[in-house]
A and B are shown apart, each in its own frame.
Chain A
Amino acid sequence: MAKEKELQQKQPMPPLGAWVPAVALGWLIPGGGHFLLKRNGRGALLLAAVTGMFLFGIMMQGAMFQPQNGDLLTTLINTGGFLGNLCSGILYILSVGFGYSQVDLAGHVHDYGTKFLVTAGLLNVLAMVDAYEIAAGRKD
């Protein structure tokens, strides 16, 4: 176990050309990196899960975060939430482009919706890391 970790740490950084297209496409289209790397089944599952999470967030009228300055907690929550939203790639771009703008409302459904929207982005980050590992040859 320790040897395996040591071995992983010693692996050189793969060339940018090997992984940047997969990671960039993975950001733009959830599962896109996997499709590019011919892992179609896994790509389809990731696409369905991330898109499903995001669409349910929209249908629950979740709020999108905007970066805000203020006290530390406000800055952390809003900037972190904004980055999470941004990680959904084209889903975020399209929803904002088509004018989706929901103010933060009281109620558990809207609250879940806001969390769904951020979590969709965070799940896409996991998918991007997986695409990186496949492109770098560290994983099948």
Chain B
Amino acid sequence: MPKVNLSHFEAAVLFAIFTSVVMGVVTKRTDRDRLHYGLYTFGCFLLALFGLGWLMYFGHG
């Protein structure tokens, strides 16, 4: 099995993609709602990723 070496950002985005797909598929009842919820979840992940990233940057001094 090949080994991969991802940065924090790449790994977190990959995590967000896979998780958002599953959250979208299992949560809602119509395909349209599933797509919207999956995109919404992915957006929330990215927002948290950038927000926490900047928070740590400023917190670190």
Q: Which residues of A contact B (CB under 8 A)?
A: 42, 45-46, 48-50, 52-53, 55-56, 58-61, 108-109, 112, 115-116, 119-120, 123, 126-127, 129-130, 139-140
Is B18 engaged at the interface, CB distance under 8 Å to the other chain? yes
Give the contacts of B28-52 with A (CB-CB under 8 A).
Answer: 29
Query: A127 and B26: CB pair below 8 A?
Result: yes
Interface residues on B, range: 10 to 19
Determine the main DSSP class of B at the interface with A: helix
Extra pairs beyond A46-B26, A108-B11, A119-B15 (16, CB < 8 Å): A42-B25, A46-B25, A49-B21, A49-B22, A49-B25, A50-B18, A55-B1, A60-B4, A109-B6, A112-B11, A112-B12, A115-B15, A120-B18, A123-B18, A126-B22, A140-B29
